[in-house]
Structure 1
Amino acid sequence: MNNFKKIFPFLIPYKKYAYLNIFFNVLYALFGTLSFVSLMPMMDVLFGQSKKNYTVPSYKGIWELKDYISDSLSYYLTAITDLNGIGYTLSILVAGIITIFLLKNLSDYMAMFFITYLRNGILRDIRNAMYKKTLELPISFFSEKRKGDTISRIAADVNEVQNSFLSILELVVKEPLTIIFTIVTMFTISVKLTVFVFIFIPVSGYIISLIGKKLKKQSTKAQEEQGLFLSTIEETLGGLKVVKGYNSESYFNGIFQNSTNRFFSLSNTIGNRQNLASPMSEFMGIMVIAILLWYGGHMVLIEHSLKGAAFIAYMGLAYNILTPAKSISKASYSIKRGNAAAERILEILDQENTITSKIDAIDKNSFDSNITIKNINFKYEDEIVLKDFSLEVKKGHTVALVGQSGSGKSTIANLLTRFYDVNEGTITIDGVDIKDMDLQSLRGLMGLVTQDSILFNDTIKANIALGKQDATDEEIIEALKIANAYEFVKDLPLGIHTNIGDSGNKLSGGQKQRLSIARAVLKNPPIMILDEATSALDTESEKFVQVALENMMQNRTSIVIAHRLSTIQKADSIVVMQKGRIVEQGTHDELIALNGTYNKLVNLQSFE
């Protein structure tokens, strides 16, 4: 139960609903037992077995409470019958039975009514906590996990824990109290018959638990809302670099929480309607009932040790044990499944975030002189990627990183943005170690354009405004013009308010890339990181994108990771990398004159 103890804090905001649920469950157990007992005086009157009692009973202690209640009831029934007739007495008894059954079912509904808010509240809060943690955790955590697995934890596993909380409350309060009250009442009616029946009840309860079916009803609207926030989760995980790079965690967190709030409201409505209808599945324990009829009938007809009315009420009480016994068996199984689900949830919630801002982090909002990478070493798990790597990038300069795949080019971009931390060495901006800088202010200095154009299922305006969410339409259009993208955006049906589909699939590769560039332009950072921004494009699209990149890089410090060498010939410095080290460095003309690795790469691409 340790996992549930860790989940327990999510219950605290809804403790009033838990208390109300427990209160009405106690009432339900009490009225559920009384509903069968109340049939006894009714049947005594019907069968003419009610005894006349003209003496006011006196209370003689707890051990004779049963006789006192029985004598008091017969006294008042005798007085009412003598005064108003047997028909009036029957009316009073029927009204009493209806009232008790009404109170029983009302208590059951109210208990389920309050637990619905508790369950759905816990569901919403755990999901929100997991999504927030997903945004905060470093990219390295998700590089080792499947996106679908994370989505499953946030969706299915959280659902399982939610249902398990309900099972625990049933297991602890409702069903045990129903069984206890029923057993005590059965013993007061007949100790002998109760001992006999307890040989068969557990077996019957186990059989019922095996074949009982749990009915589930689903709402179309709730399912659509669930699909929406699952889509948001998947897109967030797919575009985590952009979300983090543009400090948009709070924006996506807001979208997600709005969706889960709508799902919360829908779930409450659906749950309460289901509870009002009280759909139940029951299995008739015919063998137990048959044995009870045989043995109890023997006591009534042959031994005359039990009255007929008492036996009929006893039969109802015996059946009353089967349903909670079945529920306890189901709840026990549900708790086991919920415990496994809680373990998977806690793996994410308890995960330590290694890349965070220090308590006294420096809030740096400007870039003044240079970026210095000094003697850094880095490895992914056991794979060494960078070895004793050093580089200086001066303000206003464009530095290009080239080399074969696996040489460590993209790793430099990941380290500069602190998607990963170096193992050894330092990276400084204006002499300040990036580990000492506030994480959001660090990423606020940088614009990121990646090889894969990471776009979200939203409008063009929303996609571009990630880094500046208060941007006006005019600012967005200006950014689109600089990125050489307005020419196609203006022809779309709704212009910048056009939805571009899942991952921007309504657009071509070149169009998507130009929107990514426009997003970086609008953010207007002093440092631009281009991670193979044109490598996935065809020649025609590359020309449009290259013009956009050149427009964007004017008067900025740019670090360009390039696959196509034709795009970086104007760079102030070209760094040639091989197996995590710098093998050549200089301008395009200088490196060509060296007739070394860079010249071979240029000749190879020219040949292709």
Structure 2
Amino acid sequence: MNYFKKILRYAYPYKKFAFLNIFFNILYALFSTLSFVALIPVLEIIFSKKRTLGPKPIYDGLSNIKDYSQEYLNYFVIDNINRNGEFQVLMYMVGIIISLFLLKNLCNYLAMFYSTFLRNGVLKDLRNDLYSKVIQFPLAFYSEKRKGDTISRISSDVDEVKNSVLSVLEMIVREPLTIIFSLATMLFISPKLTLFVFLFLPISGFLISRIGKSLKKGSLRVQQEQGTFLSILEETMGGLRIIKAFHAENLFQKKFEDSNERFYKYSNSVLNRQNLASPVSELLGIITIGVLLVYGGFLVFIDNTLEASFFIGYIMLAYNILTPAKAIAKASYSLKRADGSALRILEILEAKNTITDIENPIQKEDFSNKISLKNISFKYEDQYVLKDFSLEIEKGKTVALVGQSGSGKSTIANLLTRFYDVNEGSIEIDGEDIKNISKKSLRSLMGIVSQDSILFNDTVANNLKLGKPLANEAELREAAEISNSYEFIKNLPEQFETNIGDSGNKLSGGQKQRLSIARAVLKNPPIMILDEATSALDTESERLVQDALEKMMKNRTSIVIAHRLSTIQNADLIVVLSKGKIVEQGRHQELLEQKGVYYSLVEMQSLN
């Protein structure tokens, strides 16, 4: 239970609800026992033939407390029957029993009422912390994780832990106290009979624990498999167009069904073990009751050391132990499952974020001189993408990075923004290593338009306002006009307030890319990074947007990663990359005259 104990720290802010839950659970256990004890006088009234009032019993110490209680109860009942009649005394006792059951159930409700705030509070805080981790982790973290598995941890794993918080409270307070109060009363009524109960309890506990040993391992497999099929589902919904285009529906259907089949088998195995707790504990309880009935009958009918009314009350109390015993067995199984879920949650909560701010980082508000990449090297796993790479980008200049796929162009953009950190060397802005600058202020200096136009299921306006939340309508329109977006935005049903659907799928590819450009324009940063920014545009849109981008890039530092070489002819510096190294650099015409790698790339595109 080590993992689950770590999660329980989330209950601390809600400790007042935990204490209230414990308080009312204690009262529940007390009233639960008293409600059965109160049946004994009723049974005495109904079944006892004694109606002669003897002398009032005298208390003579704890050693004879049981006999004194029994004699005093008989005296009390007979005295009241003689004075008020049997039926009136019966009605009085029934009223007491109903009141006790009412109080028992009221306390049960109040205990559940306060536990609701505790459980849902733990759920809320856990999900908030998990989401905070998910959103702060570097991109490299998700290259190794399935998205569906992460979703599973935030949803079903957290739900498993939430449900187990109540199980813990019941297992350590209500159910044990109900058993303790019942056993104490039973011990008081008949120590001989209670000895049998104590003999059977360890046997029950041993058998139940044997059944539950493999639950944690099985539960872990269930949660992992759930993450797998959620990942398949997420990939299917994201790539539905490609799946249909390649007639791969059957392939993905098979992948999903195989995963779902494994989930089905693992779930059956875990649930069947968990469901075994209740019948096993009830069977053991009934066996105990059977033994008590035989031995109790001997004490009542042959030994004459126990009255029938007390014996029936005793049996009811013994049966009252069965329900909490079953609940404890179920709760212990639930906790074993929750421990597996807690392990998966803690893997995210305790994972280290490799890209963090230093203590007291620099809050850089402007860019005044140059960007310097000094002898940087970077690798994904074991393969170097950049090796001993150096480049200087002066303020106000446009630098284009060109080269074959895999030459390291987009990696440079990711390193500049600290989506990844360099393995060797340093990147400096105005002479300051970007690792010493806060991530927030570093990224506020940069606007990014990526090759994939990433939009969100929201309005046009809210998508544009990501970089400038307080932008007014005039600013939105100006950014839209610069990016050549306003022409289609004004024709949308609600213009800037139109929802563009999941990933912007209500728009064409060119429209989505122009919105991405408008978003960067609205932010108006001093450094602009354009990663294949015009790749999704048709020829006419590309020309219009390229003109707008060139106007926008005046007096602004721009790093342009280009596939279409026609878009970078006016760049101040073109850097040609090959296998992570600079092979050529210069202006467009200079590079053409060299008739080297750049010339070859231009020739290939001209032929295409």
Q: Same fold (TM over 0.5)?
A: yes
Q: Secondary structure at the match of 2:375?
A: strand
C-alpha distance in 2 between matches for 1:6 and 1:448: 40
Secondary structure in 1 aligned to 2:466? helix
Structure 1: unaligned runs, 5 residues or longer: 212-229, 239-279
Alignment of 1:440-459 (within 5 A): 440-459=440-459
Q: Can you give the 5+ residue segments of structure 2 that lack an aligned partner in the other structure? A: 213-229, 239-277
Aligned to 2:307: 307
2:66 and 2:290 map into 1 onto residues whose CA distance is 28
> How far is the alpha carbon of 1:353 from its aligned partner?
2.2
Q: Does 1:365 align with 2:394?
A: no
- Match of 2:399, as an amino acid? V
Which residue number in structure 1 is paired with residue 90 of structure 2?
Answer: 90
* Match of residue 151 from structure 2: 151
The superposition leaves residues 215-255 of structure 1 with CA deviations (integer Å, 9 ceiling, x where unpaired) of: xxxxxxxxxxxxxxx99xx99xx9xxxxxxxxxxxxxxxxx
The question of whether the paired residues in 2 share the 8 Å contact of 1:201 and 1:322 is answered with no
Distance in 1 (CA, whole Å) between partners of 2:286 and 2:400 is 82
CA contact (8 A) 1:455 1:503 kept: yes
Partner of residue 500, structure 1 = 500
Deviation, 1:65, is 3.2
Superposition RMSD in Å: 2.8
Distance in 1 separating the partners of 2:50 and 2:542: 99
Q: Which position in structure 1 is the counterpart of 2:580?
A: 580
> In the aligned structure 2, how far is the partner of 1:457 from the partner of 1:477?
20
Residue 358 (structure 1) shift: 2.2
1:47 aligns with 2:47: yes
- Equivalent in the alignment of 1:324: 324
Whole-Å Cα distance in 1 between the matches of residues 337 and 209 of structure 2? Answer: 20
Q: Which amino acid aligns with 1:107?
A: C
TM-score, length-scaled by structure 2: 0.84
Contact 2:130 2:154 in 1 (8 A): yes
Q: Give the Cα separation in 1 of the matches to 2:520 and 2:49.
A: 91
**Aligned CA distance change for structure 1 residues 402 and 306 (closer, same or farther; 3 Å):** same
State how far apart, in whole Å, the 2-side matches of 1:455 and 1:563 are.
Answer: 22
Contact in 1 for aligned 2:484/2:541 (Cα 8 Å): no
CA contact (8 A) 1:209 1:326 kept: no
Question: What amino acid is the match of 1:95?
Answer: G
Equivalent residues of 2:407, 2:577 under 8 A apart: yes
Using the aligned pairs only, state the percent identity.
Answer: 62
Paired position in structure 1 for 2:526: 526
Change (3 A) 1:457 1:47: same
Deviation at 1:166, TM superposition (A): 1.7
Distance 1:207 1:387, change over 3 A: closer
For residue 484 of structure 1, report the CA deviation from its aligned partner: 0.5
CA apart distance, 1:356: 2.1
Deviation per CA, 1:453-479, whole angstroms, max 9, x where unpaired?
111111111110011111111211111
- Quickly say closer, same or farther: Cα 1:549–1:355, change in 2 above 3 A: same
Change over 3 Å in CA distance of 1:535–1:61 after alignment to 2: farther
CA contact (8 A) 1:585 1:591 kept: yes
- Residue 289 to residue 158, structure 1, CA distance change in 2 (3 Å): same
Aligned 8 A contact 1:41 1:50 in 2:
no
1: CA distance between counterparts of 2:53 and 2:123?
Answer: 58
Q: Which amino acid aligns with 1:487?
A: E
The CA distance in 2 between the partners of 1:592 and 1:65, in whole Å, is 110
- Give the match for residue 556 of structure 2: 556
Deviations 1:335-382 (A, max 9, x none): 111112112212222222232222232211111121111111111221
C-alpha separation in 1, matches of 2:53 and 2:137: 77
1:515/1:190 CA distance change after superposition, 3 Å = same
* Structure 2 partner of 1:180: 180
Query: Compared with structure 1, are the counterparts of its residues 549 and 61 closer, same or farther at alpha carbon in structure 2 (3 Å cutoff)?
Result: farther
Q: Give the Cα separation in 2 of the matches to 1:538 and 1:587.
A: 26
Is the Cα contact below 8 Å between 1:573 and 1:585 reproduced in 2?
yes
Identify if the C-alpha distance between structure 1 residues 53 and 210 changes in structure 2 by more than 3 Å, giving closer, same or farther. farther
Deviation, structure 1 residue 51: 6.4
Asked if 1:336 is matched to 2:342, the reply is no
Q: Match of 1:477? A: 477
For residues 153 and 543 of structure 1, the distance between their equivalents in structure 2, rounded to whole angstroms, comes to: 46
Q: Does the CA-based 8 Å contact 2:369-2:430 persist in structure 1?
A: yes
Q: Report 1:397-436 matches (<5 A).
A: 397-436=397-436
SS of the equivalent of 1:130 reads: helix
Residues 29 and 181 in structure 2, CA contact (< 8 A), matched pair in contact too: yes
Whether the 8 Å CA contact 1:510–1:545 is kept in 2: the answer is no
Please tell me whether the aligned partners of residues 513 and 536 of structure 2 are also in contact (alpha carbons under 8 angstroms).
no
Partner of 2:169: 169
Q: For this pair of structures, how many residues does the alignment match?
A: 545
CA distance in 1, matches of 2:32, 2:390: 78
Query: Does the 8 Å contact 1:209/1:329 carry over to 2?
Result: no
- 2:12 corresponds in structure 1 to 12
Shift of 1:62: 3.7
CA contact (8 A) 1:402 1:409 kept: yes
Name the residue aligned to 1:375: 375
Alignment of 1:98-113 (within 5 A): 98-113=98-113
Cα shift at 1:207:
8.2
Q: For residues 578 and 343 of structure 1, do their structure 2 counterparts lie closer, same or farther at Cα, with a shift above 3 Å needed?
A: same
The CA distance in 2 between the partners of 1:127 and 1:498, in whole Å, is 30
- Following superposition, the deviation at residue 127 of structure 1 comes to 0.7
**Partner in structure 1 of residue 266 of structure 2:** none
Q: Deviations over 1:182-210 (max 9, x none)?
A: 12222222333333455666777868998
Letter in 2 for 1:186: M
Q: Write out the 4+ residue segments of structure 1 that deviate beyond 6 Å after TM superposition.
A: 201-211, 280-285
> What SS does structure 2 have at the residue aligned with 1:466?
coil
Q: Is the 8 A contact 1:209 1:330 kept in 2?
A: no
**Superposition map of 1:62-101 within 5 A:** 62-101=62-101
Match of 1:225 in 2: none
1:304 Cα deviation (Å)? 3.7
Q: Partner residue of 1:35?
A: 35
Q: Distance in 2 between matches of 1:208 and 1:95?
A: 42
Contact 1:447-1:523 at 8 Å conserved across structures = yes
Moved more, 89-98 or 537-546: 537-546
* Alignment-mate amino acid for residue 579 of structure 1: K
1:120 maps to what in 2? 120
Counterpart for residue 256 of structure 1: none
Call closer, same or farther: CA 1:410–1:120 in 2, change over 3 Å: same
Contact 1:54 1:78 in 2 (8 A): no
Alignment correspondent of 2:590: 590
